[in-house]
């Protein structure tokens, strides 16, 4: 992908695949979009897929499969126990993560988190990590543990030129280990890439430093590899010492630093499922008993055999630079085009999606009126584009009921892999730019129904004032009878 140059000198990401199955899309008129957004409680999770033109909610379980994945699904060996399909999947995990002889299947990433937390976290424990993910934190706190985030300070700055914003702050990690004592740290967790700060990567060098500290203090090191494919691409592109390494070699080197690797195969592997790769027999024995309890028998873990076959091929494809470069290159294109148009985005672009900085786009919307949530509702009205709030709405209130304000108020526009074409991405850029020009019209949101746990999934909100009517009127004025 990166090796093809345009004669015109244009710098465009070029797809190294062709599309052979398509799905028709619909774009409801703007008045309808405003009505539908309100029917969905101004929460993009509650929209119906049929009403969405570009679904940029997530890259989880919605990536396009390859012909080879589809073909592999046909030869799935369906049996409750001991299927060849499972043997093929576990062999592939062992192949890409050398030194991990044991593999436990789970139905998705958070199931692995449930098992890890159930097996290792005790009340009062502390789990250091570069940054939390919503479900990770929920499982650790459910077991009475606490999460400590130790990302470098550059990671929380919306714009700078740091190539690895997901890196651990190593001195802070060592200080924390000394402060709480290694006996209260069941494991250290690396999230590569780092979802909630914009899909930002860690360097291999940083992972080596975390691993060295863990060895020094006798700590278990766990990798959340759900977003690893983007991180691998960034290491290859941005880390001088890794320029000559293949993606497989970088993966093997990362694996050599870890004790446990878990992943959501809704992301890594372009399918749906997950797993836990384990280095030591004793650890496998410790976690194994939870699999039949929560997931299913040890040779399917809640996954369908068809999905397992697709994951096996998908993991292989994740080792192919042509394939894994598509997402980050589309994301970089979108982020850089928006930046050129003056729209505040997270830079450098990370993996997963293009992240709009709602704090800067809507400075007039107070933090407690959820600027990132308001921006998500406004963008659906502006263009039928569904993003995901990644800010205060995605946090849980403090024990005393006060808001826990997020460090970054982001609207994430995820880029499902191999799904949208560049002209569709251009459309999304166009609508974001229009919204940015009319940002003064956008107001805040307030809860009308607020669940206590994971409120961003089911909570319902309403606009404060009549800003949505004004936005629709301005759309009509600018676009005439266009959808
Ligand atoms: N870890 C990371 C880094 C993730 O991004 C996710 C999911 C999980 C764990 C949980 O995996 O969904 O298979 O249970 N992220 C999705 C997203 C939900 O949209 O970013 P899961």
Closest protein CA for atom 16 of ligand 1: 60
- Is pLDDT of 270 > 80? yes
Query: 6 in a domain, yes or no?
Result: no
Report CA(479)–ligand 1 centroid distance (Å): 37
Catalytic-labelled residue, pool 3, 18, 80, 400: 80
- Is pLDDT of 175 > 60? yes
- Structure confidence at residue 453 (pLDDT): 81
- Structure confidence at residue 454 (pLDDT): 81
Q: Yes or no: say if 201 and 190 are a contact pair by the CB < 8 Å rule.
A: no
- Is pLDDT of 332 > 80? yes
Domain extent at residue 213: 67-320
Q: How confident is the model over 137-155, as a mean pLDDT?
A: 96
In which band, very low, low, confident or very high, does the pLDDT at 1 lie, cut at 50, 70 and 90?
low
Is residue 133 annotated as part of the catalytic site, yes or no?
Answer: yes
Q: What is the pLDDT of residues 430-474, one digit of tens each?
A: 999 999 999 999 999 999 999 988 899 999 999 999 999 999 999
Is residue 134 annotated as part of the catalytic site, yes or no?
Answer: yes
Tokens of 342: 């003056």
- Is pLDDT of 362 > 80? yes
Q: Does residue 314 sit in the same domain as residue 328?
A: no
- Is pLDDT of 2 > 80? no
Query: 21 in a domain, yes or no?
Result: no
Query: 247 in a domain, yes or no?
Result: yes
Q: Does residue 348 sit in the same domain as residue 458?
A: yes
Is residue 272 annotated as part of the catalytic site, yes or no?
Answer: no
Q: How confident is the model over 275-300, as a mean pLDDT?
A: 97
Q: How many domains does the chain have?
A: 2
Q: How confident is the model over 210-216, as a mean pLDDT?
A: 98
Q: How confident is the model over 200-216, as a mean pLDDT?
A: 98
Query: 81 in a domain, yes or no?
Result: yes
Q: How confident is the model over 358-368, as a mean pLDDT?
A: 97
Which of the listed residues 57, 139, 147, 264 should we mutate to test ligand 1's pocket, taking the one with most ligand atoms within 8 A of CB? 264
Pairing of strands 188-191, 146-149: unpaired
% pLDDT > 70, the chain: 100
Q: End of a domain among 285, 320, 355? A: 320
- Is pLDDT of 482 > 60? yes
Q: Does residue 118 sit in the same domain as residue 210?
A: yes
Is residue 187 annotated as part of the catalytic site, yes or no?
Answer: no
Q: End of a domain among 320, 340, 356? A: 320
Q: Does residue 306 sit in the same domain as residue 380?
A: no
Q: Does residue 171 sit in the same domain as residue 302?
A: yes
Q: What is the pLDDT of residues 63-96, one digit of tens each?
A: 999 999 999 999 999 999 999 999 999 999 999 9
| Ligand 1: lining residues by beta carbon, under 6 Å | 58, 60, 108-110, 133, 135, 191, 195, 224, 226-227, 264, 266, 274
Q: Give the residue ranges of DSSP H helices in 75-108.
A: 84-96
Q: Does residue 36 sit in the same domain as residue 106?
A: no
Q: Which atom of ligand 1 is nearest to the CA of 274?
A: 13
Q: Which domain CATH number covers 286?
A: 3.40.640.10
Q: In three state form, how does the secondary structure of the chain look?
A: CCCCCCCCCCCCCCCCCCCCCCCCCCCCCHHHHHHHHHHCCCCHHHCCHHHCCEECCCCCCCCCCCHHHHHHHHCCCCCCCCCHHHHHHHHHHHHHCCCCCEEEEECCHHHHHHHHHHHHCCCCCEEEECCCCHHHHHHHHHCCCEEEECECHHHHCCECCCCCCCCECHHHHHHHHHHHCHHHCCCEEEECCEHHHCCECCCHHHHHHHHHHHHHHCCCEEEECCCHHHHHHHHHHHCHHHCCCCHHHHHHHHHHCCCEEEEECCCCCCCCCEEEEECCHHHHHHHHCHHHHHCCCCCCCCCCHHHHHHHHHHHHHCCCHHHHCHHHHHHHHHHHHHHHCCCCECECCCCCEEEEEHHHHCCCCCHHHCHHHHHHHHHHHHHCEECEEECHHHCCCCCCCCCCCCCCCEEEEECCCCCCCHHHHHHHHHHHHHHHHCHHHCCCEEEEECCCCCHHHHCEEEECCCHHHHHHHHHHHHHCCCC
Query: 460 in a domain, yes or no?
Result: yes
Q: End of a domain among 273, 305, 320? A: 320
Q: Does residue 311 sit in the same domain as residue 329?
A: no
Chain mean pLDDT for the chain: 96
Q: Does residue 239 sit in the same domain as residue 127?
A: yes
Is residue 80 annotated as part of the catalytic site, yes or no?
Answer: yes
Q: How confident is the model over 99-107, as a mean pLDDT?
A: 98
Catalytic-labelled residue, pool 189, 390, 417, 455: 390
Report CA(134)–ligand 1 centroid distance (Å): 8
In which band, very low, low, confident or very high, does the pLDDT at 3 lie, cut at 50, 70 and 90?
confident
Q: How confident is the model over 357-386, as a mean pLDDT?
A: 97
Record the pTM. Answer: 0.96
Q: What is the pLDDT of residues 373-410, one digit of tens each?
A: 999 999 999 999 999 999 999 988 988 999 999 988 99
Query: 413 in a domain, yes or no?
Result: yes
């Amino acid at each position: 992908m990166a090796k093809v140059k345009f004669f015109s000198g244009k710098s465009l990401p070029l797809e190294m695949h062709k599309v052979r199955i398509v799905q028709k899309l619909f774009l409801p008129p703007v008045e309808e979009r405003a009505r539908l957004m309100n029917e969905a409680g101004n929460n993009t999770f509650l929209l119906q897929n049929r009403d969405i033109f570009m679904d940029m909610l997530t890259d989880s379980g919605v990536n396009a499969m390859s012909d080879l994945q589809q073909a592999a699904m046909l030869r799935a060996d369906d049996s409750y126990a001991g299927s060849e399909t499972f043997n093929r999947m576990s062999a592939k995990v062992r192949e890409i993560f050398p030194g991990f002889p044991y593999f436990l299947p789970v139905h998705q990433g958070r199931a692995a988190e449930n098992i890890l937390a159930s097996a290792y976290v005790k009340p009062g424990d502390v789990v250091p990590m570069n940054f939390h993910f919503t479900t990770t934190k929920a499982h650790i706190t459910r077991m009475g543990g606490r999460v400590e985030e130790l990302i470098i300070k550059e990671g929380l700055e919306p714009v700078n030129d740091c190539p690895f914003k997901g890196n651990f702050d190593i001195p802070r990690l060592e200080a924390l280990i000394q402060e709480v004592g290694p006996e209260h740290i069941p494991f250290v967790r690396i999230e590569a890439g780092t979802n909630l700060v914009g899909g930002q990567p860690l360097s291999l060098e940083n992972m080596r430093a975390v691993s060295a500290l863990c060895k020094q203090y006798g700590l278990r090191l766990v990798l959340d590899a759900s977003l690893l494919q983007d991180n691998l691409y960034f290491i290859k592109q941005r880390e001088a010492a890794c320029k000559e390494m293949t993606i497989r070699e970088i993966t093997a080197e990362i694996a050599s630093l870890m004790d446990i690797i878990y992943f959501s195969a809704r992301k890594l592997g372009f399918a749906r499922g997950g797993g836990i790769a384990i280095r030591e027999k004793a650890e496998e024995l410790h976690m194994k008993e939870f699999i039949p309890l929560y997931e299913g028998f040890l040779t399917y873990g809640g996954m369908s055999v068809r999905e397992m076959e697709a994951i096996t091929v998908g993991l292989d494809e994740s080792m192919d630079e042509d394939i894994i470069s598509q997402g980050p290159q589309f994301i970089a294109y979108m982020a850089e085009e928006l930046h050129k148009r003056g729209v505040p985005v997270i830079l450098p672009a990370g993996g997963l999606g293009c992240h709009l900085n709602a704090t800067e786009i809507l400075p007039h919307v107070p933090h407690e009126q959820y600027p990132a949530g308001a921006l998500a509702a406004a963008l659906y009205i502006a263009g039928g584009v569904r993003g995901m709030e990644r800010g205060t709405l995605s946090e849980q209130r403090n024990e005393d009921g006060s808001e826990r304000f997020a460090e970054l108020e982001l609207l994430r526009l995820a880029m499902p892999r191999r799904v949208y074409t560049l002209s569709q991405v251009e459309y999304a850029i166009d609508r974001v730019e229009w919204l940015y020009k009319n940002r003064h019209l956008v107001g805040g949101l307030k809860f009308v129904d607020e669940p206590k746990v994971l409120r961003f999934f089911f909570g319902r909100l309403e606009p404060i004032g009549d800003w949505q009517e004004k936005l629709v009127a301005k759309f009509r004025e600018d676009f005439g009878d266009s959808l």
